[in-house]
Amino acid sequence: MKVSLITVSFNSANTIRDAIESVLSQDYQDIEYIIVDGKSTDSTASIIESYSSRISKWISEPDQGIYDAMNKAIQLATGEVVGILNSDDFYHDSTIISTVMEVFKTQQIDAVFGDLVFVDVNNLSKVVRKYSSKGWTPRKFAYGFMPAHPTFFVKRSLYKEVGLFKTHYPIGSDYELLIRFLYKHKIKYRYINKVMVTMRKGGASTNGLKSNFILNRDILNACRENGIRTNYLKIYSKYFFKVFELINPSAN
């Protein structure tokens, strides 16, 4: 059972090597690895090129942003299952993909997701926050909660049936896509109680007040577009609960 793993990048020279190495170190054998670069102006493309013999497909060309790049990559994929790893993230250990694919092989499901940890950009072994998807249900979309998208693996056929990322959402297109998959179309999913991805603190959706405002606006619009009744009071209430993610963060 082939899995297509996707990384999109733009000027990611400082981080993309870790992402690539974490994919290449996986103990699962049938992996198709696709990288779509947005015509980086730093050394990102040359780093990717140095791994070209071990990467299934890669392109470097201008795009309309991260979600446009993800859509390009999904359309290049041929695996039965698709997972997306951001260029500044990396898989938590070498068994992640084999764990994921064992669930797909043994259970009648359409998607899986798990947990991730945020780490200090200057000390990748220092966990500063844990994002657990445990206990998540689709009703929590109205309160600003979604499963950790970097841990989301789904059958490729669902992208054809349900659709790709909507690029008019600047930060929250992944939120809207998960609403469509998990709430509107009610695909079958399983939670894996395991830290699957390590993420550097300070990504597009966690980088400052302006980004938080844009993200929460996207969440509100995504919910409304898909028939979920919510408001800013509900959405901003999530920050009360997120405080607990900072208390004794653990990778266990």
pLDDT for residue 177: 98
Q: Is residue 178 part of a domain?
A: yes
Give the CATH number for residue 65.
3.90.550.10
Identify which of 58, 48, 55 has the alpha carbon closest to the alpha carbon of residue 17: 48
pLDDT for residue 244: 59
The secondary structure element, H or E, covering residue 60 is: strand 57-60
Q: Is residue 251 part of a domain?
A: no
Q: Is residue 135 part of a domain?
A: yes
Q: Is residue 89 part of a domain?
A: yes
What's the rounded mean pLDDT across residues 42-54? 98
What are 57-94's pLDDT values in tens digits?
999 999 999 999 999 999 999 999 999 999 999 999 99
Q: Is residue 195 part of a domain?
A: yes
The secondary structure element, H or E, covering residue 116 is: strand 111-120
Over 70: is that where the pLDDT of 116 sits?
yes
Q: Is residue 104 part of a domain?
A: yes
Reduced DSSP (H G I as helix, E B as strand, rest coil) percent helix, strand, coil of the chain, to 5: 40, 25, 35
How far is the C-alpha of 174 from the C-alpha of 168, rounded, in Å?
11
Average pLDDT, the chain: 94
pLDDT for residue 251: 42
Q: How confident is the model at residue 235 (pLDDT cuts 50, 70, 90)?
A: very high
What is the number of structural domains in the chain? 1
Q: Is residue 30 part of a domain?
A: yes
Q: Is residue 252 part of a domain?
A: no
What are 177-219's pLDDT values in tens digits?
999 999 999 999 999 999 999 999 875 545 567 889 999 999 9
Supply the range of the domain harboring residue 14. Answer: 3-246
